[in-house]
């Protein structure tokens, strides 16, 4: 049984406009990994429908996320880029793994609790079993490493537990246990309206996030209206404690400009937010404008985007299909 030695799997849900959090927390790090790893970057449309989606919007978002990957610097010749639903092995393996994952493990998942809220009984089974599908995504390719944000760490640990349970039950080292790659430098970007809430596609307020479809004026407007506090910026990182909005904006500036928090504060410490926000707008526009322009250029030619996804499907399925056949054999399913 062969195991790849350095294969990455990661994905983003096509649930709306990608935002600065997706870029700084995920995509930008992937760009840096493609030289050292065999990379599979998925647009996880099956995960997207764990909450209601409009079909036309889902199709459009799938193309947008694909274009955003490539415009951000992911090379479609080097990396496999595809949408999850085209490779049926994800659903098939999720079923098999779901038969090896006790409900007690899933009951601990905090994302389900947060997303289902108080209406737990009305939440869909798909939302509940989301982490099993995520385990299938990773294990279908025997990925060795998974870049994850802090928020997805618990799901990855579950994927490792499920892989271990499967291996033990069939008494075989079939699935490698995927390692989390949590970036020390990855930024957890918070909402522009509330420094304690994650910047998110599903936040009802568009003013809470900077998206890949915002032009320079929109970016500047959102930053200008971002929530702050009345104090000037501190001169050292310790002074950001208890000031979530200031902390978030300084963190974003540093991530975009490639500076540490102390370097940012060395420049802006003692100044008011008006000066700082002008600087932040400039650096945000500088980084995002070329990406959004390239994305728009690609989206004007949907057939090109679809051709990338089709090529990605063929490459992904070529890895997935033999793995799934081996899994079915181990489970004891008679082949056609």
User: Where do contacts with ligand AQP occur on this chain (CB under 6 A)?
Assistant: 12-13, 15, 21-22, 25-26, 148-149, 151-152, 188-189, 198-202
Least distance between ligand AQP and beta carbon 232 (Å): 26
- What tokens does 29 get? 């790090």
In contact, 147 and 181? CB cutoff 8 Å: yes
Least distance between ligand AQP and beta carbon 233 (Å): 22
Least distance between ligand AQP and beta carbon 175 (Å): 21
- What tokens does 154 get? 């618990």
Nearer to ligand AQP, 126 or 269 (CB): 126
Catalytic one of 35, 113, 115, 153:
115
Active site residue 198: yes
Q: How far is CA 82 from CA 11, 18, 96, 233, 301, in A?
A: 10, 17, 22, 43, 17
State which residue has the least CB distance to ligand AQP.
25
Nearer to ligand AQP, 12 or 299 (CB): 12
In contact, 164 and 192? CB cutoff 8 Å: no
**Cα 200 to Cα 17: distance, rounded to the nearest angstrom:** 10
Nearer to ligand AQP, 135 or 199 (CB): 199
**Cα 100 to Cα 93: distance, rounded to the nearest angstrom:** 11
Catalytic one of 142, 201, 222, 277:
201
DSSP 74: -
Torsion-angle region of 228 (φ positive above 0: left; ψ -120 to 50: alpha; else: beta):
beta
Least distance between ligand AQP and beta carbon 156 (Å): 10
Least distance between ligand AQP and beta carbon 256 (Å): 13
Q: How far is CA 120 from CA 109, 111, 117, 202, in A?
A: 13, 12, 6, 19
CB-neighbour burial class of residue 20 (10 A; exposed 0-12, middle 13-18, buried 19+): buried
Q: Residue 314: what are its φ and ψ, rounded to 5°?
A: -60, -40
Nearer to ligand AQP, 111 or 167 (CB): 111
Q: Residue 216: what are its φ and ψ, rounded to 5°?
A: -60, -40
Least distance between ligand AQP and beta carbon 170 (Å): 30
Least distance between ligand AQP and beta carbon 148 (Å): 6
Catalytic one of 198, 227, 271, 311:
198
Ranges assigned E (strand) in 35-142: 38-43, 80-83
Q: By C-alpha distance, which of 45, 41, 81 is closest to 61? A: 45
Active site residue 153: no
Nearer to ligand AQP, 8 or 327 (CB): 8
Q: Residue 47: what are its φ and ψ, rounded to 5°?
A: -70, -35
Task: Give the neighbor-by-neighbor strand order of the sheet with 145-147.
Answer: 80-83, 38-43, 7-12, 145-147, 179-181
Nearer to ligand AQP, 190 or 220 (CB): 190
Nearer to ligand AQP, 87 or 324 (CB): 87
Q: Which residues are catalytic?
A: 115, 198, 201
């Amino acid at each position: 049984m062969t195991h790849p030695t350095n294969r990455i799997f990661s994905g983003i849900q096509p649930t709306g406009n990608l935002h600065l959090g997706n870029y700084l927390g995920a995509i930008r790090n992937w760009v840096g990994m493609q030289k050292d790893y065999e990379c599979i970057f998925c647009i996880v449309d099956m995960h997207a429908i764990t909450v209601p989606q409009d079909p036309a919007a889902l199709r459009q978002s799938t193309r947008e996320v694909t274009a955003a990957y490539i415009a951000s610097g992911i090379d479609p010749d080097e990396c496999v880029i595809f949408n999850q639903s085209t490779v049926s092995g994800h659903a098939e393996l999720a079923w098999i793994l779901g038969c090896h994952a006790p409900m007690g493990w899933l009951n601990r998942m905090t994302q389900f609790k947060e997303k289902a809220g108080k209406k737990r009984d009305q939440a869909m089974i798909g939302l509940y079993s989301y982490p099993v599908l995520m385990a299938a995504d990773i294990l279908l390719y025997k990925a060795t490493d998974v870049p994850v944000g802090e928020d997805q760490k618990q799901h990855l640990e579950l994927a490792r537990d499920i892989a271990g349970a499967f291996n033990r039950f069939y008494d075989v080292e079939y699935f490698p246990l995927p390692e989390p790659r949590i970036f020390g430098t990855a930024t957890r970007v918070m909402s522009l309206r509330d420094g304690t809430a994650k910047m998110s596609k599903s936040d009802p307020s568009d003013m809470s996030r900077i998206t890949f479809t915002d032009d320079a004026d929109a970016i500047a407007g959102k930053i200008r209206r971002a929530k702050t506090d009345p104090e000037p910026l501190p001169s050292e990182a310790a002074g950001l404690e208890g000031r979530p909005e200031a902390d978030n904006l300084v963190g974003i500036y540093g991530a975009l400009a490639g500076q540490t928090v102390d370097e940012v504060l060395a420049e802006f410490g003692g100044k008011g937010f008006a000066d700082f926000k002008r600087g932040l707008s400039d650096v945000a526009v500088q980084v995002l404008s070329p990406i959004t322009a390239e994305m728009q250029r690609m989206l004007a030619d949907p057939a090109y985007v679809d051709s990338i996804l089709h090529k990605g499907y063929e490459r992904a399925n070529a890895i997935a299909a033999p793995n799934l056949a081996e899994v079915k054999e181990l489970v004891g399913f008679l082949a056609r």
